[in-house]
Every structure is written in C-alpha cells, then in structure tokens.
Amino acid sequence: MKSRTIFLLVSTLAAANALAQLPSNSATGEIGNPGNKSPSGMPADTNFMKTLAQGGMAEVDAGKLATTKATNSDVKKFAQQMVKDHSKNNDKLKSLAKDKKVELPTMVDAEHAADKEKLEKQSGASFDTTYIQGQVKDHQKTVQLLEHEIDGGQDADVKAFAKETLPVVQHHLEMAKELNTKVAHEKQ
C-alpha cells in the first residue's frame, strides 16, 4: 500500500512538472498550446477541413456508383455532376490543407462506408430513391458545416474556401431536393 501511495505521488508530481513546462496564457489561465492552435491556425479549421474531405470523398464514391446503377437518367446526370464538382473541390481542399500543413484523411469514415454499403445493395428505382435521399441529407449537413466555418472559423484562407464552396453546395442541395421530389412521384 505504501509503495502504491508513493507511486501515485511521484506520478502526480511528474504530471504537475510536465504541465508547468508548457506555455500558458496568463489572461485565461489556460495551460498548454496558447490559443489552442493547430498547425492550420485553429482546431476548428482543421476539423472542418477533415470533415469536409470525408464528405467530399464519399460524394465522389457515391456519385461513381450512381453513374452505373441509377436507372433514372436525371439521377445519372446528377451523379456525374457530383463526381465532377466534388472531385474538383476535393483537389482544391487538398491544396489548401497542404498549405496549412493539415493531413487530410485518405479513406471515408465508418459512417460514409456504411452508407455506401447500403447503397450498393439497392437496385432500380429503390437505388435512385436511396441515393437521392442521401444526397439531400448529405448536402444539408455540408451546407451547415460550411456556414459554421464561415461564421466561426479563425483561418482567413479556410473561411474564404468555405465561402467559395457554399454556393455550389447550396445549388447541389436544391438540385437534389428537386430530384428527390421527381423520383418520389415516379415511384408512385
């Protein structure tokens, strides 16, 4: 018991000593990285870029799948547009991330992978409906993500990228909503 107490005391002192070595912000009392900055400027900006990259990769993957599996010609055209626009935007994002020394993910996350797996199991009109409904949902999330970055981002370049991207994503959302209505009526 005595050795456990000594171990805990030594561990606590070592941790306190390590914290004392970190820079602090005397105005806020925060210990550690002043302003909680990441290589790109702020964690929120870094998280934004990583989240947007995940969504962009998923859009291209789903779009490629839809260009081969969709039965509705308008859905196919929409999917082709998503592949083209999101590939272009992904390249711009990669360039920005490289400039900001942010490492972007190279594979989609579990949520997007599960969505694609679900989509792969669909066919015909069911595929078209599932794909378009997913596009509405995903573009709504992306609009919110972009607006959040525009309103609260710290890095001027990242905010400018979000401002430039938002109108395109809003247009995609409107297209997806229109297609969702059209596909739903055709299914009836």
User: HEC string of 9-67?
Assistant: HHHHHHHHHHHHHCCEECCCCEECCHHHCCCCCCHHHHHHHHHHHHHHHHHHHHHHHHH
116/177 same-domain check: yes
pLDDT at 135 over 80: yes
86/166 same-domain check: yes
pLDDT tens digits, residue range 31-60? 333 343 444 445 889 999 999 999 999 999
112/177 same-domain check: yes
16/92 same-domain check: no
As beta bridge partners, residue 30 has: 25
Q: What CATH number should be reported for the domain holding residue 73?
A: 1.20.1260.10
132 and 180 in contact (C-beta within 8 Å)?
yes
7/100 same-domain check: no
42 and 36 in contact (C-beta within 8 Å)?
yes
| Residue 29, phi-psi category: left (phi > 0), alpha (psi -120 to 50), beta (remainder) | left
Tokens of 90: 């992904």
**pTM for the predicted model, two decimal places:** 0.76
pLDDT tens digits, residue range 111-120? 999 999 999 9
What's the pLDDT score for residue 43? 85
Mean pLDDT over residues 15-33, rounded? 35
* Residue 6 structural domain: 2-31
20/45 same-domain check: no
| Domains of the chain: total | 2
pLDDT tens digits, residue range 71-102? 999 999 999 999 999 999 999 999 999 999 99
176 and 139 in contact (C-beta within 8 Å)?
yes
25/74 same-domain check: no
Instruction: Give, in order, the Cα–Cα distances in Å from 19 to each of 33, 37, 39.
Output: 11, 17, 21
- The percent of residues in the chain predicted with pLDDT above 90, rounded, is 73
96/168 same-domain check: yes
169 CB contacts (<8 Å, ≥6 apart)? Answer: 139, 142, 143, 146
84/22 same-domain check: no
Exposure on the CB side of residue 170, measured as CA atoms within 13 A: 9
